[in-house]
């Protein structure tokens, strides 16, 4: 169904967060890599290449024998999957009538033919042409790869795998960690406005390539200011704050501040109200050495920011909580 709450969660498979289509048994008409592109699918009528009409999606040849087609996606952010979107946008006479989705969890970096232990997230389900199909996922375990199967052949524009990232504690350096990073398990819990861009972009992996990959608010016409609150990956002590206004030139905030929330609910200043420059990565040492679990960024009065990084150290309690969460959602634990 459309409008499901999990569509607001990160797309764990998206190319923008490191996802990739590592294998497909066929891509005769359109490349498998299109499945995980961040942008919504597009269509250019009467645009033909050497393989026919050019489609913004993955399309296989017409089967003349029994069987199905598969595409395997490595999640850029391993985690718990809450829902899957199979989008057949612009595929009308060539969409697959059915699809299913499986998942597996592995350590390390195996080759596609070494992946085993597939389990069903979405059973074989009917599809229609030129529409988004939303499938709830009830399984609460952590996954690293998903496999899309189309029955028997055809085209799919995008595969979205929405969920909650869960970091492997063995790959974490407790003494130096971005506590606000999506890939480490941080999440946005509230914001004042997201007119032009989602606040979740602030904590996404990598650098923003364009303004549209940041968080931007509408122009304020009152005396207030905009803000965003983040639940940190785990309890920790922030030592360095990075406020990045890259690509925001005539619309960067004039000033910003960062506060942290302690376990008892009280707030402490991590970065006092500080002037910002447009199109600049600002880095500030944080002297207040208190344990915090949440952070709040206030921008004054409005505008856009590409990224927020809060580098620090996990406390023993924070590391324990991170480890417990991983163990609770790991298959076989």
Q: Give residue-wise pLDDT tens across range 243-271.
A: 999 999 999 999 999 999 999 999 999 99
Is pLDDT at 105 greater than 80 in this prediction? yes
Q: Give residue-wise pLDDT tens across range 214-231.
A: 999 999 999 999 999 999
Kindly report the pTM of this predicted structure: 0.92
Contacts of 54 (CB under 8 A, 6+ apart): 30, 44, 47, 48
The tokens for 130 are: 């030129």
According to DSSP, the β-strands at 177-178 and 307-314 are antiparallel
Q: What is the mean pLDDT of the chain?
A: 94
Q: What percent of the chain has pLDDT over 90?
A: 91
195 φ, ψ to 5°? -65, -45
Q: Give residue-wise pLDDT tens across range 25-82.
A: 999 888 999 999 999 998 877 777 767 667 789 999 999 999 999 999 999 999 999 9
What does the DSSP 8-state code read for residue 11? B
The 10 Å Cβ neighbour count of residue 64 is 7
Torsion of CA 263, 269, 270, 276, to 10 degrees: 140
What is the DSSP annotation of 101-118?
EEEE--SS---GGG----
Q: How confident is the model at residue 3 (pLDDT cuts 50, 70, 90)?
A: low
**Cα(240)–Cα(309) distance, integer angstroms:** 8
pLDDT of residue 50: 65
What is the DSSP annotation of 37-74?
-SSPP---TT-EETTEE--SSEEPPPPSSS--EEEEEE
């Amino acid at each position: 169904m459309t409008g499901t709450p999990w569509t607001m969660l990160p797309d764990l498979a998206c190319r923008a967060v490191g996802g990739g289509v590592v294998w497909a048994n066929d891509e005769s008409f359109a490349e498998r890599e299109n499945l995980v592109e961040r942008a919504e699918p597009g269509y250019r009528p009467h645009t033909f290449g050497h393989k026919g009409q050019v489609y913004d999606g993955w399309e296989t040849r017409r089967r003349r024998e029994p069987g199905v087609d598969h595409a395997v996606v490595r999640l850029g952010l391993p985690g718990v999957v809450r829902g899957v979107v199979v989008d057949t946008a612009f595929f009308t006479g060539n969409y697959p009538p059915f699809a299913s989705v499986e998942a597996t969890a592995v350590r390390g970096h195996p080759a596609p033919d070494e992946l085993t232990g597939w389990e069903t997230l979405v059973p074989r389900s009917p599809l229609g042409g030129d529409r988004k199909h939303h499938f709830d996922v009830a399984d609460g375990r952590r996954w690293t790869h998903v496999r899309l199967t189309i029955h028997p052949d055809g085209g799919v524009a995008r595969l979205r795998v929405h969920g909650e990232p869960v970091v492997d504690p063995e790959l974490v350096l407790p003494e130096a960690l971005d506590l606000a990073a999506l890939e480490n398990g941080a999440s946005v819990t509230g914001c004042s406005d997201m007119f032009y861009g989602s606040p979740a972009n602030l904590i996404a992996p990598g650098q923003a390539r364009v303004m549209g990959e940041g968080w931007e608010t509408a122009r304020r016409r009152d005396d207030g200011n905009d803000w965003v609150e983040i639940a940190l990956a785990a309890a920790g002590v922030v030592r360095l704050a990075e406020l990045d206004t890259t690509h925001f030139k005539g619309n960067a905030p004039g000033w910003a501040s960062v506060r942290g929330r302690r376990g008892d609910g009280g707030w402490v200043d991590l970065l006092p109200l500080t002037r910002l420059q447009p199109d600049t990565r600002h880095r500030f040492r944080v002297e207040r050495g208190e344990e915090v679990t949440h952070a709040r960024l206030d921008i004054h009065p409005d505008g856009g920011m590409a990224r927020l990084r809060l580098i620090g150290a996990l406390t023993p309690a924070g590391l324990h909580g991170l480890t417990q969460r991983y163990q609770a959602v790991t298959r076989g634990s």
